[in-house]
């Protein structure tokens, strides 16, 4: 669990200091207790001393710990301050969290399901959520910040080495919370630039389904997931609940478009209303690509 961000060392210092002094205190208290237990056992010491208090001691063990915890506070704050001050030359990446997947949007507008970054370049993250609270957590960077629906949080990091690092969702968000994983891939800058160009030119429907997070809930092969499968969807008659009323609809292009943009409007019977609204995360052209693709899944 070696740190891999520029500030992970500062956080680790705080860890070492706090855990180290805690261990010393714990061992100290435990050994003292055991020593007293043995030394002052009743068979050895039948006549206890009735000591009620000692002002000096009381003062000592109030003041010393106060100083100690203030040092701890300082260490914690020092690392935190660096974490919160995003450098001016940082590259801005938007993090979109939604039930149970991540996507990352780069300055050129392209997207990916794993976060690619150039090593040694400060990255500024704009954290968003389409539905409930999620939390962006990369242990190796010592970085965590929540993705709140209805607001934008910020964070930043800069990697110190090439490599692949786990991303977890750390705020409980429902059924597949523990599957809401991804990776940060840190590449040498030249390689990153090549990757960015390649990635931006990828508009295959399979890629879109992955990046937009549809795969977390929908299958293309007939398996029932959290949501209905796309297989055989187009043209079929679907029973949906609209404003509490059950009705039948025939699935056409307009219905699919509407289902993606306003998922809460018509709820397919037998499913929970958990699909995140995709309005801000998907373009009309991308929807067209998906519709054409779904048509083919007979």
Partner 1 sequence: MTESPAGSWGRTGSYLDGPSSRTGLMGWLTTTDHKRIALMYLAAMGVFFLVGMTIGLLIRLELMQPGEQFYGAKTYNTFFTLHGVIMIFLFIVPGIPAVFGNFILPLQLGAEDVAFPKLNLLSWYVYMAGAAIALTSLYAGDSPPDTGWTFYAPYSINSGGSVSWAVLGAFVLGFSSILTGMNFIVTIHRLRAKGMGFFRMPLFCWGLYATSWIQVIATPVVGITLVLVVMERLLGIGLFDPSLGGDPILYQHLFWIYSHPVVYVMILPAMGVISDILPPFCGRTIFGYRAIAISSMAIAVVGYGVWGHHMFTVGMSDTARWVFSLLTFLVAIPTGVKIFNWTATLYRASIELRVPLLYALGFIFLFSIGGLTGLVNGALSTDIHVHDTAFIVGHFHYTMFGGAGIGLFAALHFWFPKMFGRMYNEKIATWAWGLIMVGFNTLYFPMLVLGIMGMPRRYHDYLPQFQVPHFISTVGSWILATGIILMIVNLIRSARKGRKAPNNPWGATTLEWTTTSPPPLLNFATLPEVKTGPYDFSGRKPGQSHEEGAS
Chain residues that interact with Cu ion, rule: CB under 5 A: 134, 169, 173, 180
Using CB under 6 A as the binding rule, whether residue 278 contacts ligand HEC is answered as: yes
Please tell me whether residue 61 binds partner 1 under the rule CB under 8 A: yes
Q: Select from Cu ion, ligand HEC, partner 1, none the partner in contact with residue 259, using the beta carbon and a kind-dependent cut-off of 5 to 8 Å.
A: ligand HEC
Give least dist CB 210 to ligand HEC, A.
Answer: 10
CA distance 81 to 115: 24
Any contact of residue 238 with ligand HEC (CB under 6 A)?
A: yes
Q: How many CA atoms lie within 13 A of 120 on its CB side?
A: 7
Closest CA to 217 of 171, 280, 168, 173: 173
Q: Of ligand HEC, Cu ion, partner 1, none, which one sits near residue 134, judging by CB under 5 to 8 A according to partner kind?
A: Cu ion
**Would the CA dihedral through 158, 164, 170, 175 be positive or negative?**
positive
Smaller CB separation from Cu ion, 147 or 220: 147
183: β partners:
166
Interaction between residue 286 and partner 1 (CB under 8 A):
no
Helices (H), 112-204: 189-200
Site for partner 1 in 217-276 (CB under 8 A): 272-274
Edge-to-edge strands, sheet with 101-105? 111-112, 101-105, 91-98, 123-129, 153-157
Kindly state the smallest distance separating residue 92's Cβ from partner 1, in Å: 17
Q: Which does residue 290 bind out of Cu ion, partner 1, ligand HEC, none, counting CB within 5 to 8 angstroms by kind?
A: ligand HEC
> What DSSP state is assigned to residue 279?
G
Residue from 271, 277, 293, 297 that binds ligand HEC (CB under 6 A)? 271
- For residue 182, which of 161, 210, 214, 221 has the smallest C-alpha distance? 210
> Which residue, 14 or 256, is less far from ligand HEC as judged by CB?
256
Q: Residue 209 has which token pair?
A: 């389904």
Return the structure tokens found at 247: 């009705």
**Residue 22 in the binding site for partner 1 (CB under 8 A):** yes
Q: Which one of the spans 90-98, 146-154, 194-202, 236-244 is the region binding partner 1 (CB under 8 A)?
A: 146-154
Considering the rule CB under 6 A, would residue 184 count as an interface residue with ligand HEC? no
- Minimum gap (Å) between residue 281 Cβ and partner 1: 15
Least distance (Å) between residue 254 CB and Cu ion: 31
Shorter beta-carbon distance to ligand HEC: residue 142 or 218: 218
Q: Are 140 and 5 in contact (CB under 8 A)?
A: yes
- For residues 257 and 267, what is the distance between their CA atoms, to the nearest angstrom? 14
8-state DSSP, 81: H
d(CA 69, CA 67): 6
| Chain contacts with ligand HEC (rule: CB under 6 A) | 99, 212-214, 216-218, 226-228, 233, 238, 251, 256, 259-260, 263, 266-268, 271-276, 278, 282, 290
């Amino acid at each position: 669990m070696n740190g891999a961000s520029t500030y992970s060392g500062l956080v680790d210092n705080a860890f070492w200091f706090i855990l180290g002094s805690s261990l010393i205190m714990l061992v100290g208290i435990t050994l003292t207790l055991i020593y007293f237990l043995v030394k002052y056992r009743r068979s050895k010491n039948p006549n206890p001393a009735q000591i009620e208090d000692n002002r000096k001691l009381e003062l000592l063990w109030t003041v010393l710990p106060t100083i100690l915890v203030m040092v701890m506070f300082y260490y914690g704050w020092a690392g935190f301050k660096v974490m919160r001050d995003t450098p001016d030359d940082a590259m801005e990446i938007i993090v979109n969290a939604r039930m149970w997947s991540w996507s990352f949007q780069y300055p050129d507008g392209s997207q990916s399901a794993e976060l690619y970054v150039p090593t040694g370049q400060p990255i500024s993250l704009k954290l968003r959520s389409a539905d409930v609270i999620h939390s962006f957590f990369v242990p190796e960077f010592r970085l965590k910040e929540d993705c709140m629906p209805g607001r934008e949080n910020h964070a930043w990091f800069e990697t110190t080495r090439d490599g692949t690092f786990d991303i977890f969702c750390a705020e409980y968000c429902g059924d597949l919370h523990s599957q809401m994983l991804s990776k940060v891939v840190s590449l040498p800058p030249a390689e990153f630039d090549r990757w960015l160009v390649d990635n931006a030119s990828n508009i295959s429907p399979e890629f879109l389904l992955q990046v937009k997070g549809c795969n977390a809930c929908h299958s293309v092969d007939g398996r029932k997931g959290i949501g209905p499968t796309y297989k055989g969807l187009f043209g079929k008659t679907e029973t949906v609940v609209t404003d509490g009323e059950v009705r039948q609809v025939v699935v056409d292009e307009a219905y699919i478009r509407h289902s993606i943009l306003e998922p809460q409007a018509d709820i397919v019977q037998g499913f929970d209303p958990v699909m995140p609204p995709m309005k801000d995360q998907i373009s009309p052209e991308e929807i067209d690509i998906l519709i054409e693709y779904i048509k083919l899944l007979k």
